[in-house]
Amino acid sequence: MPRPIVRLIRVTGQLALLGSACYLLCASPQVNATAKSLNQIFTPDLQPAGLLSISPLVEDSRIANSEELQFDLGVTRWAEVAFYHGLRPREEIGSVEFGLLNKGPHLLTVGAVNWSSRGGGVQPLLEYGYYREKDQFIIGGIHAARRNELVLGYTHQLTDRLQLAFDYQSGPGNSATAGFTYNLTPTLQINPAAYLTNTRPQRALGYLLLTWNLPLWHE
């Protein structure tokens, strides 16, 4: 069995007891899985209020933390919080986003993201999204490592279950990516992607995310 699949199964196993308890208390067959983000960048569409997403992640260690558990929660219609627990190496990461505009196809979001227990400081984020029924376009900027970096994103809804995703973040240590999100069930989705690094020598790196959506309350 390929190593990324084995690692994903191992990380997912650490969620078994937590996930079972949340399912018994909170799960609903009517909730629909939605893409949590693009492959690399944050997105201006916020998590629905009361919806918790639990996501085990495995990726090449040259991207970031090679094994990670992610938790995303919509607090209100205009606020989302996220917490990432890194396993290799041990690291805690926090982020928050606020919606400034959600009118028709236009979205505008600000955030303070990627606060890490290993240092580096909070990274301010500003993004604009133009969301149509099948195609979504994202442009914005993030201040990281004393640099202003460009973020770009595009998704296309190919079928009811399958969404293609492409994104880019400028600066060393970042990449251009291509991947897809596939809804396995109404509450479970998988997102594999390939990263092509900005810095030379350019490398193609692997990424795999599994997301389970649980409604905790309804607004």
Q: Give the pLDDT score at 20.
A: 42
The model's pTM? 0.84
Which residue in 19, 17, 47 sits closest to 32, CA to CA? 47
Q: Give the pLDDT score at 6.
A: 54
CB contact set of 2 (below 8 Å; sequence gap of 6+): none
Question: Which class for 112: exposed (0-12), middle (13-18), buried (19 or more C-beta within 10 A)?
Answer: middle
Q: Give the pLDDT score at 119.
A: 86
Please name each of the domains of the chain with its CATH number: 3-215 (2.40.160.40)
Q: Are 41 and 64 in contact (CB under 8 A)?
A: no
Mean pLDDT of all residues belonging to the chain: 87
Q: How many residues does the chain have?
A: 219
Q: What is the pLDDT of residues 142-158, one digit of tens each?
A: 999 899 999 999 999 99
